[in-house]
Amino acid sequence: MSITIKSPSDIEGMRTAGRLASEVLDMLAAHVVPGVSTERLDQLAHQHITQVQQAIPAPLNYTPPGYVPYPKSICTSVNHQICHGIPNERPLKNGDIVNIDVTVIKDGWHGDTSRMFVVGEGSIAAKRLCTITYDAMWRGIAKVKPGARLGDIGHAIQSFAEAQGFSVVREFCGHGIGQKFHEEPQVLHYGRPGTLEELVPGMTFTIEPMINAGRREIRELGDGWTIVTKDRSLSAQWEHTVLVTDTGFEVLTLSAGTPPPPAFISPGN
Ligand code: MF3
Ligand code: CO
Ligand code: CO
């Protein structure tokens, strides 16, 4: 298989799916408070996606080769959890940081996006990790234009994150997305400029860096999904689904509540 190029009507489908995924995060935002369980957030998301949006939560029962079926509708990764955290009954507490990752399928198209939330009042260090990771994602997005290469994206993210004293997770990456949840290409969050696949208008893929406050090494929990930092340091992640346009990029996972781009992003790219 190779990288799929989306037609104008495919892109319409991707825009809708992307907006819906982002709107799930908008809806959840007010519920991310001390005392709420991630299980409750999952219930709210499942209800909204299936009943309000008439869409499908892509994670539910998702079973890549070598995995057990994913049991919930969203991923919730708390503190030293890097990604793929499974919602559970434990209440969130003041100062926790949580990544909520939402993927919806609408009319056969996938939209995939995640944000960090600080529960109550976060420490300076936790908030800094979340902000730097957000900026790292955007450093990658800003590289997206025809003729650029995937290595440009990875390098922009890695060089920025490491300059702040943080580390980049290597084992998980962004991915092509469309009628499949995960398709080609792999979008590494580290690398060298001018290497790997050249970007072409109509490509759609995610950029979703996982950045650790400590060392980059990971460990998988016994549930078959949850990935944590080996040194138990905090980890953050943000994710957008993006389209390569004729002149640059379009972020497809946009909604009323999407945080604005950092100041270093010039309008109209
Ligand atoms: N949404 C994740 C990603 O960004 C994938 C989660 S797979 C799941 O690629 F099964 F855990 F949901
Ligand atoms: Co993704
Ligand atoms: Co995701």
Atom 12 of ligand 1, residue of closest alpha carbon = 59
Ligand 1 pocket, residue 112 CB under 6 Å:
yes
Band of residue 266 on the pLDDT scale cut at 50, 70, 90: confident
Ligand 1 pocket, residue 143 CB under 6 Å:
no
Quote the pLDDT of residue 268. 56
Ligand 1 pocket, residue 59 CB under 6 Å:
yes
Mean pLDDT of 25-34: 98
Atom 10 of ligand 1, residue of closest alpha carbon = 59
Q: Is 2 a member of any domain?
A: no
Quote the pLDDT of residue 201. 98
Provide the token pair at 134. 């957000």
Quote the pLDDT of residue 184. 98
Q: Is 256 a member of any domain?
A: no
Mean pLDDT of 79-84: 99
Q: Are 115 and 99 in contact (CB under 8 A)?
A: yes
The Cα–Cα gap between 44 and 61 comes to 18
Atom 11 of ligand 1, residue of closest alpha carbon = 84
Q: Is 200 a member of any domain?
A: yes
Q: Is 258 a member of any domain?
A: no
Coil, strand or helix at 21: helix
Query: Structure pTM?
Result: 0.98
Q: Which of 29, 26, 34, 211 is nearest to 117 (CA)?
A: 29
DSSP 8-state class, residue 86: P
Q: Is 87 a member of any domain?
A: yes
CATH number at residue 121: 3.90.230.10
Strand order across the 210-212 sheet: 167-168, 210-212, 235-237
Whether the predicted pLDDT of 267 surpasses 80: no
Mean pLDDT of 219-245: 98
Of 25, 62, 240, the one to substitute when testing ligand 1's pocket (max ligand atoms within 8 A of C-beta) is 62
Amino acid at 227: I
Amino acid at 130: C
Quote the pLDDT of residue 269. 54
Ligand 1 pocket, residue 140 CB under 6 Å:
no
Ligand 1 pocket, residue 62 CB under 6 Å:
yes
Q: Is 56 a member of any domain?
A: yes
- H or E stretch at 44: helix 38-47
Q: Is 262 a member of any domain?
A: no
Range of the domain at 43: 8-251
Q: How far is the CA of 125 from the centre of ligand 2 (A)?
A: 26
Considering its fold, how many domains does the chain have in total?
1
Q: What is the pLDDT of residues 147-198, one digit of tens each?
A: 999 999 999 999 999 999 999 999 999 999 999 999 999 999 999 999 999 9
Nearest ligand for residue 113 CA: 3
Of 22, 99, 112, the one to substitute when testing ligand 1's pocket (max ligand atoms within 8 A of C-beta) is 112
Ligand 1 pocket, residue 84 CB under 6 Å:
yes
Q: Is 261 a member of any domain?
A: no
Ligand 1 pocket, residue 208 CB under 6 Å:
yes
Q: How far is the CA of 196 from the centre of ligand 1 (A)?
A: 24
Q: What is the pLDDT of residues 101-148, one digit of tens each?
A: 999 999 999 999 999 999 999 999 999 999 999 999 999 999 999 999
